[in-house]
Each structure stands twice: as C-alpha cells, then as structure tokens.
Structure 1
C-alpha cells in the first residue's frame, strides 16, 4: 500500500497531509522503542565471560635491535610480550629496553623485569600483580 501512496502522491492525486500524519504517528513508536532499549542498557553492567578468550602471550628472543619493531607491533595489538635478551650484546639489550620502555609508556602499559635479561611488556589491558624482584633477592641471599 505504501508504494501505491507514493505513486499517487507523485502524480498529484493524493494530498501530502495524509503522509505527514502517518509519519508523525510512526515517530513516537520509534522513540518508545529507543527508550525501552535505553532501559535495558542501563539496568546493570553486563560482562561477557568470554572476553578474555583470545589473549595470547608472545615470547620473543630478539637477536638484534632490528627485531624490536615486531615486539612493539605486538604491544600495539594489545598482546603481552615476554622478551628474553640473553642472546644480544649488552649495549643492544639496553637500546631494546629503552625502545620498549618508550613504547609501553606511549600505550599506558607497563614493563617489568622478571629475570636476568628477561622482561615482561604489557599493554594497558593487562595488569601485573606481584613482584619477582623480591624472589630474586631472596635467592641471592639464600645462595650466599
């Protein structure tokens, strides 16, 4: 019937007032649907239990400074990265840590030392709890 009304209106056989009245009737119904949706939306916080399903931790063992960009790309993709710097020279390891510290800072993430030349870099979506430094200090005291 709507196509016929449009056709008759186009030809000029039907008055536009009827169409305007029909549109006004339709509008309040859409507003009530929107209000019903808002009511459901504000009832409470609904959290999907499967939201952490695809979290992956990337293990990286760079052999040169050139591989640091790949680690930064993982962090930008919101993936935590464990970086083992035992296979690079100390001067390159320092440059890599400096670069990753800047990357993590820009992403509001964090970087933590979890072992000798091993670092955990995390984006802002991952929270690090606890400290391994205390454990390393205890082992050093125990070995003396």
Structure 2
C-alpha cells in the first residue's frame, strides 16, 4: 500500500477494520505468579501477633511451673509476690529469670514485690522510678 492510500484510509471512513483479539489468559499467564503473591498476608500471622497479659499471685514455689508455661506460650506475666515467703519469692524470681532468659525475653521489677516477665514478642518501654529499687535494696531484693 502506498503512502497516499494510507493517508486516504486514515481520513476517510472505510468499512474495513482490522480487529485483533487478545485472550486474557495468555496475558495473565505471561506474568510471573510470584509477583501476584508478594502482597498477600497470611491471616495466621495476624492471629499470632495478639498478646495477652496474665496476672499471677503465687503463694509458693510449686506454682511457678504454671507461670513459666504462660511465658513459654508467649504471654506476658505480671507476678505479685506479696503473699509468698521471702525465700520462696526469691526462688520463684530465680526460676522465672531463667525461663525468660531462655526465651530471649525480659524481666522487669514493677514494684517492691511485683515483677513483669515478658517473652521476646512483647516490647517493654519505659521504666519505674529508682526510689523503689533503693528501698528494696535494703531488704535484699
């Protein structure tokens, strides 16, 4: 076809049209499937990110295993040791310190006989004033 005919066909309305059919499946199959999956988020990861805090008030060392099980199950635990004997309370804190250390967690003193044991999925920010720590230092904590 000459240039003249091409210009004439361009400016005039001819009944002759060329249609090109493209199947959608071929276009979709040409794209890599990994690109489609990059923005998919698993719902199980969202469910696991839910945190719980457990409050415990042990009276003796026999109850420490239940507290440790909560920490192993990735729950933060607040422990009030006011009802435990001093020697029993020290043993409880020692055991829970080892549990938290094994899980790469964190243990913090909140009060005179109150502790927070948190696994590594719980972020702890802030601190309690040092005046409580000075009072407890004289008691042997």
TM value normalised by structure 2: 0.63
Note closer, same or farther for the CA distance 1:53–1:104 as it changes in structure 2 (3 Å cut): closer
Partner SS for 1:115: coil
2:125 to 124, 129, 133: 129
2:76 to 68, 74, 80: 80
Structure 2 matches for 1:1-144, cutoff 5 A?
35-36=32-33, 38-42=34-38, 51=47, 54-134=50-130, 136=132
Paired residue total: 106
Q: CA offsets per residue over residues 58-103 of structure 1, 9 Å max, x none?
A: 0000011000000000001101000000111111111100000000
Q: Which residue of 2 aligns with 1:22?
A: none
Larger Rg: 2
Please report how far the alpha carbon of residue 35 of structure 1 lies from its aligned counterpart in structure 2 after TM superposition.
3.4
CA contact (8 A) 1:114 1:133 kept: no
CA contact (8 A) 2:51 2:122 kept: no
In the alignment, the residues of structure 1 paired with residue 56 and residue 84 of structure 2 have an alpha-carbon distance, to the nearest angstrom, of 12
In the alignment, the residues of structure 1 paired with residue 96 and residue 129 of structure 2 have an alpha-carbon distance, to the nearest angstrom, of 20
More helix by share: 1
Partner SS for 1:129: coil
- Structure 1 unaligned regions, length at least 5: 1-28, 138-144
In the alignment, the residues of structure 1 paired with residue 31 and residue 97 of structure 2 have an alpha-carbon distance, to the nearest angstrom, of 46
Note closer, same or farther for the CA distance 1:115–1:42 as it changes in structure 2 (3 Å cut): same
TM value normalised by structure 1: 0.62
In the alignment, the residues of structure 2 paired with residue 74 and residue 97 of structure 1 have an alpha-carbon distance, to the nearest angstrom, of 15
